[in-house]
Structure 1
Amino acid sequence: MTSEIDTANAEGGQVRASTLELFFDLVFVFTMTQLTHVFTHHPGWEALGQVALLFGVIWWMYSGYVWLTNEVAPNSSTRRTFLLLGMFGFFVLALAIPDAFHGTGIAFGIGYILVNTVHTAMFYANGGASATVAIKRIAPLNALAAGLVLAGGFAHGWPQYLCWAIAFAVQVLSPYLVDTGDFVVRASHFCERHGLVIIVAIGESVVSIGAGLAGEKLTVPLVANVALGLALAYVLWWAYFGMDDERGEHALASVPDRARSRPGVLAYGYALYPLLVGIIVAAAGIKMSIAHGNEAASVATAAALSGGVALYFLGQFFFRLALRLPRPWSRFIAAVAVAATIPIGVVWVAWAQLAALVAVAYLAVIVDDLVTLRTGQHSAYL
């Protein structure tokens, strides 16, 4: 480990996350809160589409900053200043999220341009030789996406959706349009940083529990609902950090340096997208149902609660596939199983759906863990 740290420092990169990066992630908490608000304000398919689109373009650049700090350690005043400037850009994006489709799209676009510019400039000026070559290849596509986001901010109606959808498509396709093999991926830092993002996102579900109880009188049934909500947040945490976090780092580290960028973007870029959207939607479901546990839930609320957890497991399914981890199919089965709890909240009461959701999700995770232990594998928690 000492040798790895010395090598990384000499190249300007990192092997572990810094406290400044943890500070940077506070903006991500606010971003998740704002996206949850978008869904809870008018729950339904349109809101889900807006959340998926907004988070899609944001996630691409936010993950891009993980790639950036993986290569460019914030170990000087200049680097820290520019990183904070990027943090400011993300904060502007987050502020603009609630009305991005109805008036604040321009601010969203300007914030995105700032985030994109700082990212490219820091990579180009401070990255190693190979990273500089890589950013030169992908920067034009990032700039095109940023321009489309800004153009969408000036548009209204379907042209706005179209501009932002094309921007998202450009981002998703860019790793296949240019060679990204020159990006350096230090597995320990890279995996830890993305893991911290997941923790921050799960924290939003805890925040949603508290937000959904504002002004409510504390009663025994209400406290029981809170316990179920916290249990669900714990299950989401355990599902990833019980085994997959550690196994993912080992799997990525075993890939030759030059070949790491492709599985890195597949597992920690593409696969984490549905996983994180799932957390946002599930948090919205918790927020809308937690204070009304003794009542039947609306279809939108029930679908958000269980459907969000299903998306989370689906993201883990793709994560395991990308890194060739054992039993990806078990997470797919878990996704189907938790989605099947949706009718419980609609035809009965919300607390029953939440209880069934926790039981089914936890059972799926425990069974998978037991199978893992029988194969002789272990982790820091098992």
Structure 2
Amino acid sequence: MTQESPGIRVSTLELFFDLVFVFTVTQLADTLADDLTLRGVGDVVLILLVVWWMYSGYAWLTNAVAPTNTTRRTLLLAGMAGFLVMALAIPEAFGEYGWIFGASYLVVNVVHSVLFLQAGPGAVRMMRTLGPLNLFAAALVLAGGFLPEPWRHLCWIAAPLVQIAGGYLHAIEMHSITAGHFVERHSLVMIIAIGESIIAIGLGFRDVHLDGGAILVAVLGLCIAYYLWWCYFAGDDKRSEEVLANAADPRRRSRLALNAWGYAHVPMLLGIVVSAVGIKKTVGHAFEPLHWGPALALGGGVAVYLLGHAVFLRLLRLPGIVFRVTAAVGVLATVPLGHVLAVAQLAAVPIIMAACAIAEDYPRIRRLGPTAIGDFGRTSS
């Protein structure tokens, strides 16, 4: 059940929904900043997995069922409310607010199933398998909110495993995917997430004296965010839309959408969160050595993002993989530098990313001639 309607784009209501969802990025960054340990990272990964699965589910939903009437809009508002309450509960999702997170997550799942049942007979048959599995995963998250350890974490680990299984057990070819809308929806949430990470960094400047070091950290943090943007949006978003649109077989198109825009986006979002924490930890300490944890968060977060995008490109058979992997290795190698001087690592990371961006784009600029020099970093389309 595949269709292609280039004129269908993301509505302002969907963008509003994305703004609510991306609040989770700020909450995850704040939560990890307060507990920058292996356990803290593990908890953030588990929360991101279950939250992203349902956000992605809503992206697939509105791709098939546009929020064009009052009933659908009201239900989508209920889903937004669920995401908002979930985000508010994130700092204590494995503590006293676990049941609140779980109850909100269940609401999000119920609304998703109800709306998807309006997408036609094919969607009804598809949701006979996917719907119960999603609700079972939500029930596991809710149960974890009431159970003591280690059962709480075991329930949370089981939930994304059930969701991943659901991605393979239901009739994925029954999904209706409009490539333009689908790619634009995920592109918007990525740019919002990068912007939200800057807000998370900015919150670290509260009660910090704005001297030269603080301003330098802010500018360098912005440069890192810029190259995260460049990596994703310097033409690959348009090329990826073409790849998805040209996948004529319904099963292949749906599987490509799940793998590339579902699974491959998880490390990119995780990288945004972790790198934001690393930058935030340098605020007020620009000319001091970083502890290993913040230094690893800064270099490792950017590296995870780049490797996630390399996987994305590999799935779509697009060029640029070598440059992403090379940049990831380079920024990861800056971790010892941060342990010597924070600002040195902060400067080295965007320099490495810029060098790889120039190396990737230079052949195109050379082919197009001198007039393309001013267009560096813009899409070739």
Residue 367 (structure 1) aligns with: 359
Preserved contact between residue 109 and residue 153 of structure 1 (Cα < 8 Å):
yes
One-letter amino acid of the structure 1 residue matched with residue 194 of structure 2? I
1:111 alignment counterpart: 104
State the alpha-carbon separation in 2 of the partners of residues 266 and 134 from structure 1.
Answer: 18
Q: Distance in 2 between matches of 1:81 and 1:47?
A: 36
TM-superposed deviation, 1:29:
2.8
The reply on whether 1:35 has 2:17 as its aligned counterpart is: no
Residue 247 (1) aligns with residue 204 (2): no
Match of 1:121 in 2: 114
Q: Is the 8 A contact 2:25 2:197 kept in 1?
A: no
Partner of 1:131: 123
Distance 1:329 1:249 in 2: 21
The answer to whether residue 13 in structure 2 is matched with residue 20 in structure 1 is yes
Deviation track 1:179-229 (CA, whole Å, cap 9, x = no partner) reads: 201101100000000001101110122112311111112122221221111
Contact 1:212 1:286 in 2 (8 A): no
Aligned to 1:59: 52
For residue 229 of structure 2, what is the aligned residue in structure 1? 237
**How far, CA to CA, are the matches of 1:352 and 1:89 in structure 2?**
42
Instruction: Output the CA distance in 2 between the equivalents of 1:32 and 1:193.
Output: 17
Q: 1:336 to 1:173 in 2, by over 3 A?
A: farther
Name the amino acid aligned to 2:135.
A
SS at match of 1:274: helix
Q: Distance in 2 between matches of 1:375 and 1:34?
A: 45
The whole-number CA distance in structure 2 between the counterparts of 1:227 and 1:221 is: 10
Aligned-pair identity in percent equals 46
Give the corresponding residue for 2:206.
214
The one-letter code of the counterpart of 2:379 is Y
In the superposition, relative to structure 1, how do residues 229 and 180 fare at CA in structure 2: closer, same or farther (>3 Å)?
same
CA RMSD of aligned residues (A): 2.0
Do residues 283 (structure 1) and 276 (structure 2) align? yes
Deviation at 1:371, TM superposition (A): 4.1
- Provide, for residues 284-311 of structure 1, a one-character-per-residue CA deviation record: whole Å limited to 9, x for no partner: 1111112211111111111111111001
The letter of the residue matching 1:147 is A
Distance 2:169 2:323 in 1: 32
Structure 2 runs not aligned, ≥5 long? none
Report the Cα distance in structure 2 between the residues aligned to 1:374 and 1:183, rounded to whole angstroms: 42
Partner SS, residue 283 of structure 2: helix
Query: How many angstroms apart in 2 are the aligned matches of 1:272 and 1:118?
Result: 23
Q: Match for residue 292 of structure 2?
A: 299
The answer to whether the Cα contact below 8 Å between 1:202 and 1:236 also exists between their aligned partners in 2 is yes
After superposition, the Cα gap between the structure-2 partners of 1:375 and 1:270, relative to the gap in structure 1 and judged at 3 Å, is farther
Amino acid in structure 2 at the alignment position of 1:45:
L
Give the Å deviation of 1:269.
Answer: 0.3
> What pairs up with 1:283-362 in 2 under 5 angstroms?
283-346=276-339, 348-362=340-354
CA displacement at 1:174 relative to structure 2: 1.9
- What SS does the aligned partner of 1:260 have? helix
Question: Structure 1-normalised TM-score?
Answer: 0.93
Counterpart contact for 2:201–2:277, Cα < 8 Å: no
Secondary structure at the residue paired with 1:184? coil
Per-residue CA distance 1:1-54 (angstroms, 9 max, x = gap): xx965xx8xxxxx82000011111121232111111111011111110010001
CA distance in 1, matches of 2:146, 2:295: 35
Please give the alpha-carbon distance, in whole angstroms, between the structure 2 residues aligned to 1:112 and 1:144. 11
Asked if 2 retains the 8 angstrom alpha-carbon contact of 1:137 and 1:178, the reply is: yes
